[in-house]
DNA sequence: GCCAGATTAAATGTCAGACATTAAAATGTA
DNA sequence: TACATTTTAATGTCTGACATTTAATCTGGC
């Protein structure tokens, strides 16, 4: 592991890269202890604060964890699925919001991916997945539910569908696609009628999952996507109209 | 933005979280300049190195960028698709290797997702995507290509297929699934015969994409998945046999 | 008045050394 | 042996300083 002290790049960034590369290459294995900060500072010929900045960078990516005390230090962290989920969701959410990704594009991606899980989910779903889906459908029908809670329940429902595929990698990849949509969905006002329609589609999906009918799941997801996009469009149209009216008033 | 100085959690982690939350909530918008390190230190009532550690954490997630000089400072970074790709690939790769994800599980996830792109790609692919696919097929047929180069070309081919869907979000989500497989694929030895078979399937896919035949693409991807898994299994079997022989010799 | 070069100022990048805190291991003692 | 104490080695944090970069400002000369 070496760095170039003459480079214009931050020393801490270079050190972080060197260690990260070592982890990726397998030179440092899970749970292995890194040298102490003082030793690393010595090795790279930099000060301790610089080493610390590098370690914090790695910690931010969940690549290492630190422990205080006599036998403490920095350890290569086993990247867990849950940690990766969280990062994935954060990154995806910011990506959508910062790049002004349209509702349609995000929605299309999400349903395309979700439909990919349908056949596997039909085959492998357990009673547990089914129970979660039914419970969320019930929650979604409750009056007095806020729009945000409705959206959150929607996410839980769809995650149960995805998890039903029984493939952790798939669940991880989908986490971003499904959850990152939430801020976009939250812009929609769900009327009683639209909630009813969505609950009906969700029920169809749950029924199809129970019957292990992959074709039916797929078809219903297509309907749900179309309906969701329709809803979003009506929101946009309504907003545009209001803006036009306001414009008219002030003029 | 506030932190709890009595918490057992690192101050730098708390500060990073506070700023991250502000970015996610939209309180800090893209390209906005954060207060200087000294001002942040003052605000959170900590020292400058602690603030710096927090900022490095955010920089590691591409949430901010820093600039030196008189008008420099830390700025909220527009998370670009390319940056997100890279992070996604790194995370996915480590996730698979550190959790000993089986070839079958990863492969299943990858092809399920890729098949989700097929209908869109059939509809929207441009001549460019097609040209990339053809070029990679040609490369894959060249004798003397190393296994690694073959794998790399394979990845490029499949990315062209995915990109053909013309949905950036989809491309981003797929990046991890496709590229993270590469280390696993690299364990396979591709014989001349198996390369020939793969090239034939790739050709079928390219032809189907050109003909905008979604059904055919899907069917061929299913075949390709089956063949890939078969190849991987034969490698595992061969290894097991060798190990058994060695065991026999030493015994 | 205008332009080129020198100066200044404000920010990040880096260093050195110190002290605080934590937690395990070593040690001492009943 | 069991328990309390001390030691020790690590991370966490602070202070203060200097180095470096870069844009803005000032200054002379034309």
Residue-wise pLDDT for A115-151, tens only, equals: 999 999 999 999 999 999 999 999 999 989 999 999 9
pLDDT band per the 50, 70, 90 thresholds, residue B243: confident
Least confident stretch, A40-44, A232-236, B104-108, B209-213: A232-236
CB contact under 8 A, B169 and A105: yes
Nucleotide nearest to B67 (CA to C1'): C12
Averaged pLDDT for residues A207-211: 97
Residue A167 to residue B115, Cβ atoms within 8 A? no
Cα–Cα dist B107/B112, whole Å: 8
Candidate from A198-202, A221-225, B132-136, B177-181 with smallest mean pLDDT: B177-181
Q: What is the pLDDT of residue A249?
A: 67
- Closest partner CB to B170 (pick from A52, A98, A109): A109
Tell me which DSSP letter residue A101 carries. Answer: -
Non-local CB neighbours of A241 within 8 Å, separated by 6+ positions: none
Our measurement of the distance from residue A24's CA atom to the centroid of its chain's CA atoms, rounded to an integer in Å, reads 23
Chain A CB contacts of B57 below 8 Å = 56-57, 59-60
What pLDDT is stored for residue B167 in this prediction?
95
pLDDT, mean of residues A221-234: 94
- pLDDT higher for B182 or B210? B210
Distance A76 CA to D9 C1' (A): 20
Share of chain A above pLDDT 90, in %: 79
Verify if strand C has an atom below 7 Å from the CB of B192: no
What is the bridge-based pairing of β-strands A64-67 and A73-76?
antiparallel
* CB B88, CB B48: distance < 8 Å: no
Pull the structure tokens for residue A119: 């056949």
Look up tokens 């169809």; give the residue.
Answer: A204
CA atoms within 13 A on the CB side of A196: 3
> Tokens 């893209």 label which residue?
B30
Using alpha carbons only, give the angle A138, A140, A142 rounded to the nearest 5 degrees.
75
**B231 Cβ neighbours under 8 A, 6+ residues apart:** B188, B190, B194
**A42: pLDDT strictly greater than 90:** yes
How far is the C-alpha of A161 from the C-alpha of A132, rounded, in Å? 9
pLDDT band of residue A251 (cuts 50, 70, 90) is: low
pLDDT digits (tens, 9 = 90+) for A45-68: 999 999 999 999 999 999 999 999
Q: Closest residue to D15 by CA to C1' distance?
A: B47
pTM of the model: 0.88
Is residue A106 within a helix (H) or strand (E), and if so which, with residue range? Answer: helix A103-124
Q: How confident is the model at residue A226 (pLDDT cuts 50, 70, 90)?
A: very high
pLDDT at B124: 97
> Is residue A172's pLDDT more than 70?
yes
Chain C bases near protein Cβ (<7 Å):
9-18, 21-25
Q: Which nucleotide is nearest to B72 (CA to C1')?
A: C11
User: Which residues in chain A have their CB less than 8 angstroms from residue B112's CB?
Assistant: 116-117, 119-120, 165, 167, 170
Average pLDDT, chain B: 93
How much is the pLDDT for B137? 97
Interface test with B, best of A8, A94, A124, A187 (most B CBs within 10 A): A94
Q: Domains along chain A?
A: 11-76 (1.10.10.10), 82-250 (1.20.120.530)
Point out the nucleotide closest to B41 (alpha carbon to C1′).
D14
* % of residues, chain A, pLDDT over 70: 98
Closest residue in chain B to residue A91, using alpha carbons only: B84
- Of chain B, the percentage scoring pLDDT greater than 90 comes to 78
Mean pLDDT of chain A: 93
Beta bridge partner(s), residue B74? B66
Q: Pick B39 or B188 by higher pLDDT.
A: B39
More confident: B79 or B241: B79
Distance of alpha carbon B174 from alpha carbon B92, whole angstroms: 11
pLDDT value, residue B7: 87
Asked if the Cβ–Cβ distance from A173 to B176 is below 8 Å, we say yes
Contacts of B48 (CB under 8 A, 6+ apart): B37, B38, B41
The whole-number pLDDT of residue B250 equals 63
Among B173, B183, B187, most A C-beta atoms within 10 A, so best to mutate, is: B173
- Distance to chain A for B166, nearest Cα, Å: 9
Show residues of chain B in contact with A79, CB under 8 Å. 91, 94-95, 98-99
Say yes or no: Cβ of B8 under 7 A from any atom of strand C.
yes
* Rounded-to-integer distance, Cα A219 and Cα A196, Å: 19
Across the interface, whether the CB atoms of A96 and B169 are under 8 A apart is answered: yes
Q: Give the closest nucleotide to A5 (alpha carbon vs C1').
A: C14
pLDDT given for residue B235 in this prediction: 82
Structure tokens at A5: 């002290």
Quickly give A17 CA vs C1 C1' distance in Å: 53
What is the model's pLDDT at position B1?
A: 80
CA distance B151 to chain A (A): 18
Strand C contacted by A47 CB (< 7 A) = yes
Reported as a pLDDT band with limits 50, 70 and 90, residue B241 is: confident
* Nearest CA among B108, B135, B109 for reference residue B226: B108
pLDDT band per the 50, 70, 90 thresholds, residue A38? very high
Residues of B whose CB is below 8 A from A166: none
Q: Kindly tell me if the per-residue pLDDT of A225 is higher than 90.
A: yes
Residues of A in contact with B53 (CB under 8 A): 52-53, 56
- The pLDDT, as a whole number, for residue B34 is 97
- In this structure, of A17-21, A154-158, A173-177, B162-166, the range with the lowest mean pLDDT score is A173-177
- What DSSP letter does each residue of chain B carry, written as one string? ----TTSSS-HHHHHHHHHHHHHHHTSS-TTPBPPPHHHHHHHHTS-HHHHHHHHHHHHHTTSEEEE-STT-EEEEPP--HHHHHHHHHHHHHHHHHHTT--HHHHHHHHHHHHHHHHHHHHHH--HHHHHHHHHHHHHHH-TT--HHHHHHHHHHHHHHHHHTT--HHHHHHHHHHHHTTHHHHTTS---HHHHHHHHHHHHHHHHHHHTT-HHHHHHHHHHHHHHHHHHHHHHHHHHHHHHHHHHHHH-
Q: Is the CB of B38 under 7 A from strand C?
A: yes
Give the tens place of pLDDT for each residue, B126-147. Answer: 999 999 999 999 999 998 999 9
What's the pLDDT band for B251 if we cut at 50, 70, 90?
low
Is A62:A83 a contact under the CB 8 Å cutoff? yes
| φ, ψ at A123 (rounded to 5°) | -75, -40
In A, which residues are within 8 Å of B81 by CB distance? 95, 99
- Which positions in chain A touch B79 (Cβ < 8 Å)? 91, 94-95, 98-99
From the CA of B4 to the C1' of C19: give the distance in Å: 22
CA torsion sign for B11, B14, B18, B24 is positive
| CB spacing of B98 vs A87 below 8 angstroms | no
- Summarised one tens digit per residue, pLDDT across range B80-110 is 998 898 889 999 999 999 998 999 999 999 9
Q: Is the CB of A50 under 7 A from strand C?
A: yes
């Amino acid at each position: 592991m070496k760095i170039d002290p003459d480079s214009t790049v931050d020393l801490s960034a270079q050190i972080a890269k060197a260690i990260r590369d070592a982890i990726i290459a397998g030179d440092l294995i899970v749970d292995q202890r890194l040298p102490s900060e003082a030793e690393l500072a010595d090795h790279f010929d930099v000060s301790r604060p610089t080493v610390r900045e590098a370690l914090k960078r790695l910690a931010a990516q969940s690549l290492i964890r630190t422990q205080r005390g006599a036998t403490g230090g920095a350890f290569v962290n086993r990247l867990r699925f849950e940690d990766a989920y969280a990062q994935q969701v954060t990154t995806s959410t910011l990506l959508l919001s910062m790049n002004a990704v349209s509702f349609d594009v995000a929605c299309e991606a999400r349903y395309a991916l979700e439909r990919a899980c349908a056949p596997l989910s039909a085959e492998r779903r357990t009673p547990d997945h089914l129970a979660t889906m039914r419970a969320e459908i019930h929650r979604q029908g409750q009056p007095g539910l806020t729009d945000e809670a409705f959206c959150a329940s929607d996410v839980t429902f769809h995650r149960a569908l995805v998890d039903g595929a029984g493939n952790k990698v798939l669940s991880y990849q989908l986490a971003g696609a499904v959850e990152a949509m939430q801020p976009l969905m939250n812009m929609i006002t769900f009327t009683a009628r639209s909630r009813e329609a969505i609950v009906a589609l969700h029920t169809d999906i749950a029924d199809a999952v129970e019957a292990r009918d992959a074709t039916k799941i797929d078809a219903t997801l297509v309907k749900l996507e179309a309906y969701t996009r329709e809803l979003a469009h009506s929101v946009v149209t309504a907003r545009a109209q209001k803006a036009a009216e306001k414009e008219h008033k002030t003029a």
